[in-house]
Amino acid sequence: MTKLVNANELSELLYEPNIADVTGQSMLGLDLRGIEFSESESQLLRSWIPKQPIPIIGLVDGTNSISDYLDIVMDNEQECLNIMKKINHHPRSSAVLVQVTRASEIAPFHHGLCLESLGYATLQSGSEFSSWLKVYGKDFHSKPKDDQADPILLEREGRELRIILNTPVNRNALSVAMRDGLTEAFKMVAIDDSISRVMVSASGTCFSAGGDLSEFGGITDFSEAHAIRNLRMPVYYLLPQKHKYVTVIHGACIGAGIEIFAFSSVIRAKRDAFFRLPEIEMGLIPGAGGCVSIPQRIGRQRTNYLAISGKEISADQALRWGLVDEVFD
């Protein structure tokens, strides 16, 4: 059932340590319009909300004393109900998402990335991802791949290194080969002090379509998958040198495409660029660093909203939110 809980109903739930166990619901939607909490009530809620294992959504009509502690804040009732329906369709991945983004907000970078990977591995073995694979997996596995192209091109001019994503036939999807190529390129930047600036761009009609879906579902040892991510995740090598990176985005920038490069010091987006986080719809969470990198730019609540809604945002919207730093024609 998708319904909003009012303040009176909420007061009856506050002394339950695990609201999901009591109600059997996959989320809690709170109607906080016109509500002012006392300081003692606010303190209780600020302590109680982060302990809940499910998303807590708030419908507000202005600043509220507990707004910052909610997982998503909405000011439109219909949109709020739509988000709650989305969570009902993907309760496990939505719950893992908010648990990871809550923790990564206060954890050091590397701890947040490790938590993201553990959450991702957990969901890879889950029913939501399995159901998605049964419906869509064959379509993606049959699509062509450009095995001849170098997935990453490197060009050096003076103290500047240019990194170009270079598999346009599959819209620069982040394959294992591309991931490993980025990792090696980022390693080179980390050890070569003569590189003072790194310009990242992409060939073809778009920046990146996200993870290479033709490779999804091939792993059966999920602990091994977590270990590989910890060893080969490109952002581990980007982070210490992030001040050197300028990323230029055009066209689609989906999932991993924005998750990795959101760590760049500057992101320039062509006006035709657009952004989306599709992983929740697949029964997963952002798994290329996005549970850490994107909240750093737009905040935890907007990140949760983007991931759970699956909505596409334009370059101009991304600029208003802070996901990118500049939009150009």
With a pLDDT cut of 90, the percent of the chain lying above it is: 79
Q: Do 64 and 160 have their domain in common?
A: no
Q: Do 71 and 119 have their domain in common?
A: no
- Give a yes or no: residue 150 inside a domain: yes
Q: Is the pLDDT of residue 279 over 90?
A: yes
Q: Is the pLDDT of residue 217 over 80?
A: no
pLDDT-derived band of residue 147, with 50, 70 and 90 as boundaries? low
Q: Which of 1-5, 256-260, 301-305 has the lowest mean pLDDT?
A: 1-5
Q: Do 167 and 304 have their domain in common?
A: yes
How much is the pLDDT for 307? 98
Q: Do 292 and 180 have their domain in common?
A: yes
- Give a yes or no: residue 102 inside a domain: no
Q: Is the pLDDT of residue 301 over 80?
A: yes
Q: Do 84 and 118 have their domain in common?
A: no
HEC sequence for the chain? CCCEECHHHHHHHCCCCCHHHHHCCCCEEEECCCCCCCHHHHHHHHHHHHHCCCCEEEECCCCCCCHHHCCEEECCHHHHHHHHHHHHHCHHHHHHHHHHHHHHHHCCHHHHHHHHHHHHHHHHCCHHHHHHHHHHHHHHHCCCCCCCCCCEEEEEECCEEEEEECCHHHCCCECHHHHHHHHHHHHHHHHCCCCCEEEEEECCCCCECCECHHHCCCCCCHHHHHHHHHHHCCHHHHHHHHHHEEEEECCEEECHHHHHHCCCCEEEEECCCEEECCHHHHCCCCCCCHHHHHHHHHCHHHHHHHHHHCCCEEHHHHHHHCCCCEEEC
- Give a yes or no: residue 160 inside a domain: yes
How much is the pLDDT for 12? 85
Q: Do 139 and 32 have their domain in common?
A: no
Range(s) of the domain holding residue 262: 113-328
- Give a yes or no: residue 241 inside a domain: yes
Average pLDDT over residues 208-222: 87
- Choosing from 27, 57, 89, the residue where a domain stops is 89
Q: Do 266 and 319 have their domain in common?
A: yes
- Choosing from 89, 121, 147, the residue where a domain stops is 89
Q: Do 215 and 309 have their domain in common?
A: yes
**Stronger pLDDT, 64 or 250, i.e. the higher one:** 250
How much is the pLDDT for 175? 94
**Stronger pLDDT, 190 or 146, i.e. the higher one:** 190
Record the tokens describing residue 173, joined without a space: 């999807």
- Give a yes or no: residue 25 inside a domain: yes
How much is the pLDDT for 146? 55
Q: Is the pLDDT of residue 133 over 80?
A: yes
Q: Which of 110-119, 147-156, 247-256 has the lowest mean pLDDT?
A: 147-156
- Give a yes or no: residue 127 inside a domain: yes
Record the tokens describing residue 322, joined without a space: 């802070």
How much is the pLDDT for 26? 94
Q: Do 163 and 288 have their domain in common?
A: yes
201-to-92, 162, 318 alpha-carbon distances in Å? 35, 8, 18
Average pLDDT over residues 240-265: 97
- Give a yes or no: residue 20 inside a domain: yes
Q: Do strands 313-314 and 274-276 pair parallel, antiparallel, or not at all (unpaired)?
A: antiparallel
Residue 268 belongs to domain with CATH number: 3.90.226.10
Domain count, the chain: 2
- What is the C-alpha to C-alpha distance for residues 107 and 102, in angstroms, rounded to an integer? 9
Q: Do 84 and 117 have their domain in common?
A: no
pLDDT tens digits, one per residue of 33-77: 998 888 999 999 999 999 999 999 999 998 788 999 999 999 999
Q: Do 193 and 321 have their domain in common?
A: yes
- Choosing from 89, 122, 137, the residue where a domain stops is 89
Residue with tokens 């050096």, as numbered in its chain: 156
Q: Is the Cα dihedral 88, 91, 96, 102 positive or negative?
A: positive
- Give a yes or no: residue 298 inside a domain: yes
Q: Do 37 and 177 have their domain in common?
A: no
Q: Is the pLDDT of residue 8 over 90?
A: no
With a pLDDT cut of 70, the percent of the chain lying above it is: 96
